[in-house]
Amino acid sequence: MKTPLVSIITPVYNGEAYLSECIDSVLAQTYDNWDYTIVNNCSTDCTLEIARKYAAADSRIHVHNNETFVSAIANHNLAFGLISSQSKYAKAVFADDWIFPECLERMVKVAEEHPTIGIVGAYGLRGKTVIWNGLPYPSTFVPGREVCRLRFLEGIYAFGGPTAHLVRSDLIRRRNPLYDETNIHADTEMCITLMQESDFGFVHQVLSYTRDRPDSLTSSAEHFCTLITGELYDLVKFGRKVLAPAEFDQCFDHHLWSFYNLLASGILQRREREFWEYQKSQMAKLGLTLEWIRLMRAVAAILADVLCNPKLSIEQLMSGQSNPEVSRRVSYRPFCGRRKATAVLGKTEGFMLDDFAGGSRQ
């Protein structure tokens, strides 16, 4: 029986350091019915030359060279727009990541066993750490609504990043563009959106490797602590579709508390203007106004935490020194289920809170 075609895409900008390793991981797949499009986003290094060398050696590999530079997320949209019209599934592999040899074979097998599955995820490695865990074994099939409820109620994020999951191609073709280019967590938004009309599959095996890079979108997201506001955005947009009213209200309160803890940490650490501009833009997107009483309570909660922990000094907290106790994730209060809401403490610079609040106390 003929196996379904998988279209693989790699959007890349200046990826010469790791692109060969990425492509080699695709060539090493035990599943061989695939085509592969590398989308070069006006790279200024040897990315294009590397991609063309591989394309010349294997007819399944194609190179698309952008005429003009576009944003990273726009380049992902462009790449997914180039998947084969004959493909049944699509798979992204970031240029600085790679996939294990059985990745396609294992993911396609789960998807083929359950025709309603729209996305298949799996465990991944980030450095030496196993990520995207949380689903109980052997849950290879999870209804779309349930995986979203696990996301909101238990904090279980099983989708993984684009390198970590496989998507049914017809779902991609129905969405143009696939990703919201104004959302740094557009991949999460896309996954939850697709779960409104399909189900989720999971392979309990490490199938992808994610590399840490200081200039990546992931590193930028961590610097600005976008995960907290991203979770709040997802809850506001999708929560009422999968949660009972009481569940939604409880989750919203806890996510909002987590967000205000983030702002309070920023105050005590004198975060830079870019941090506050980002948080301000997200509040506007969510239709929220700054509540000063809530913010001061969050500041007080952090200070109380410091007072109860002699290893954390005020000087360390405000200076953002690279002390393990300062750089760790600090938990404040339970988050809907078992997981805890967190605020990240990191290195900071000066800020103007009045600018963040729009000059008025509301």
What are the sequence ranges of the domains in the chain? Answer: 6-218, 224-356
Instruction: State residue 305's pLDDT score.
Output: 80
Measuring CA to CA, how many Å separate 97 from each of 24, 188, 304? 11, 18, 41
- 166 has pLDDT over 70: yes
- Percent of the chain predicted with pLDDT > 90: 71
- Which residues in 98-133 are b (16+ Cβ under 10 Å) and which e? bbbebbbbbbbbbbeebeebbbbbbbbbbeeeebbe
Quote the crossing angle between the two packed helices 144-154 and 226-242, to the nearest 10°: 130
pLDDT for the residue 357: 47
The answer to which of 42-56, 63-77, 221-235, 306-320 has the lowest mean pLDDT is 306-320
Of the given ranges (114-118, 249-253, 254-258, 357-361), which has the lowest mean pLDDT? 357-361
* pLDDT score of 354: 46
Distance CA 320, CA 270 (A): 9
Which residue is listed with tokens 């990745």?
Answer: 103
> Span 266-282, mean pLDDT?
90
pLDDT score, position 335? 32
- What value does the CA radius of gyration of the chain take, rounded to a whole number of Å? 22
Is residue 301 within 8 Å of 261, Cβ to Cβ?
Answer: yes
pLDDT digit string, tens, across residues 59-100: 999 999 999 999 999 999 999 999 999 999 999 999 999 999
For the residues of 166-183, what is the DSSP string, one character each? EEEHHHHHTSSSSS-TT-
Where does the pLDDT of residue 351 fall: very low under 50, low under 70, confident under 90, or very high at 90 and above? very low
* Residue 328 in this model has a pLDDT that exceeds 80: no
pLDDT confidence tier of residue 110, bands split at 50, 70 and 90: very high
- CATH numeric code, 6-218: 3.90.550.10
Give the Cα separation of 318 and 306 in Å (integer): 11
Specify the pLDDT at position 227: 87
Per-residue pLDDT at 316: 53
What pLDDT score was predicted for residue 312? 60
Query: What's the pLDDT at 344?
Result: 32
Helix (H) or strand (E) holding 139: none
Asked if the model's pLDDT at residue 320 lies above 90, the reply is no
CB atoms within 10 A of CB 233: 19
pLDDT digits (tens, 9 = 90+) for 127-150: 899 999 999 999 999 999 999 999
Tokens for 232, please give them.
């709040």
Q: Are 163 and 93 in contact, with CB atoms under 8 Å apart?
A: yes
- Say if residue 177 is preceded by a cis peptide, omega within 30 of 0: yes
Cβ contact 122:164 at 8 Å: yes
- Identify the DSSP state of 336: S
Confidence label for 350 from pLDDT (cuts 50, 70 and 90): very low
Give the pLDDT confidence score for residue 340 in this predicted structure: 34
d(CA 93, CA 77): 14
**What's the confidence (pLDDT) of residue 327?**
31
By the 8 A CB rule, do 339 and 330 touch? no
Is pLDDT at 332 greater than 90 in this prediction?
no
Question: What is residue 169's predicted lDDT score, i.e. its pLDDT?
Answer: 98
Residue type, 201: G
